[in-house]
Amino acid sequence: MSTQTVTVDTGTRVRPATTGRRKRRGENRAGWGLATPFLVFYVLFLIGPTVYGIVMSFFNSSLQHSGLGGFAGPDNYTEALTSSDFWQSMWHTVLFTLLTTPPLVALALMLAIFTDRLSRGRWFYRLVFFAPYVIPSAAMALIWVWLYTPEIGLWDKWLTAIGISSPPNWLADPNWAMISVALATVWWTLGFNFVLYLAGLQEIPRELYEAASVDGASRWHQLRRITIPLLNRTTALVLVLQIIASLKIFDQIFLMTSGGPNYSTRPLLEYVYDIGFTDFRTGYAAAASMLYFLVILAVSLVWFFASRRPQRGA
């Protein structure tokens, strides 16, 4: 855009009231103008669908007919809350979160602390641990399904080599399927938390450690009294991001087990997918989505209010 011709009106200062108002109006218009493109998209594809989703959840909407369908009142919600399939998939989502969050936080912290101590070669570990995080879930699933293949997979070969003669039937055993997906997920996404922790560690002043070792504090002591407490803010962030990311589980399970065997791993998002796009019951699917949304919202709000208390820069 070409520059507006610079017209310094010497009279400006003489009539501050009118120009002030005009300036105000111009600024107002410019502000709204700049915000409009975003707001159009925001309303059309985020606020709109949210409102429509809430409305839909009170109707018998279906993919088979257009429009909302008959009014259902709270029926969709009572159906979901009394459906064992709904609760089962909710439990699988929570179980996956419980299985993945502790190792993804603790292991990332440990590896970051060890890497931070290195004088050389940090870039190598950052590359190795972070690289899997950027690959698409579908590529990751192809690789891990191959690794888990019974008898001819690499993991089974190694387990038999160290004397475990009958390794579990990883993805096909209902008792092991979720654990197998969780293990693959730890491999896949650890790098993100690792990088957050490395950044947190870099902000700890080295002089603190020097002062501590002059005072004779052991490494273990330094770790417990300096490193871990000073990483509290990072840990809070890593923890909440991890919990929310784990609650959104869909890709890996859909790709590696399709929710099976016999629905034993089906997470909530896949339940929504199944009822909405296989059974075409979009009204009920919207209600299930809203209940799921409340769970994620609760986690976000707990974190929001917990992290507000020690108010420091955003």
Q: How many residues bind other proteins (CB under 8 A)?
A: 109
CB-wise, 104 or 175, nearer to other proteins? 104
Q: Name the minimum Å distance from CB 306 to other proteins.
A: 15
> Which one among 15, 21, 22, 157 touches other proteins, defined by CB under 8 A?
157
15 lines the binding site for other proteins (CB under 8 A): no
14 belongs to the binding site for other proteins (CB under 8 A): no
Given the complex with other proteins, which of 99 and 249 has the nearer CB atom?
A: 249
DSSP 259: T
Q: Please name which of 227, 94, 258 lies closest in space to residue 86, comparing C-alpha atoms.
A: 94
141 binds other proteins (CB under 8 A): yes
- Least distance (Å) from other proteins to the CB of residue 300? 5
Q: Binder to other proteins among 128, 211, 302, 306 (CB under 8 A)?
A: 128
CA separation for the pair 95, 89 (Å, rounded): 10
Select from 126, 169, 204, 239 the one that contacts other proteins (CB under 8 A).
Answer: 126
Q: Least separation, in Å, of the C-beta of 195 and other proteins?
A: 5
Strand spans (E) along 241-298? none
Considering only residues 59-118, where is the footprint of other proteins by CB under 8 A? 61, 63, 66, 110-111, 113-115, 117-118
Distance of alpha carbon 198 from alpha carbon 208, whole angstroms: 17
* Residue 210-249 contact track with other proteins, rule CB under 8 A, x = bound: ---x--x-xx-----------------x---x--xx--x-
The residue behind tokens 């096909």 is 172
Which residue from 84, 123, 207, 311 is in contact with other proteins, where contact means CB under 8 A?
A: 123
Toward other proteins, which CB reaches closer, 232 or 300? 300
The answer to whether the CB of 233 falls within 8 A of the CB of 239 is no
Nearest to residue 62, comparing CAs of 211, 277, 309?
A: 277
Among 145, 172, 179, 208, which residue sits at the site for other proteins (rule: CB under 8 A)?
145
How many angstroms separate the CA atoms of 71 and 10, rounded?
66
**SS3 string of 155-222?**
HHHHHHHCCCCCCCCHHHCHHHHHHHHHHHHHHHHHHHHHHHHHHHHHCCCHHHHHHHHHCCCCHHHH
Whichever of 34 and 175 has its CB closer to other proteins, that residue is 34
Binding mask 275-304 for other proteins (x = CB under 8 A): -xx----x--xx--xx-xx--xx--xx---
x/- letters, 38..57, toward other proteins (CB under 8 A): xx-xx-xxxxxxx-xx--x-
Round the CA-based radius of gyration of the chain to a whole number and report it: 27
In terms of Cβ atoms closer than 10 Å to its own Cβ (0-12, 13-18, 19+), residue 312 is exposed
Around 223, how many Cα atoms within 13 Å sit in the side-chain half-sphere? Answer: 10
Minimum CB separation of residue 252 from other proteins in Å reads 10
Q: How far is CA 161 from the centre of its chain?
A: 37
The sign of the torsion formed by the CA atoms of 149, 152, 154, 156 equals positive
Which of 79-87, 93-101, 147-155, 162-170 is the region at the interface with other proteins (rule: CB under 8 A)?
147-155
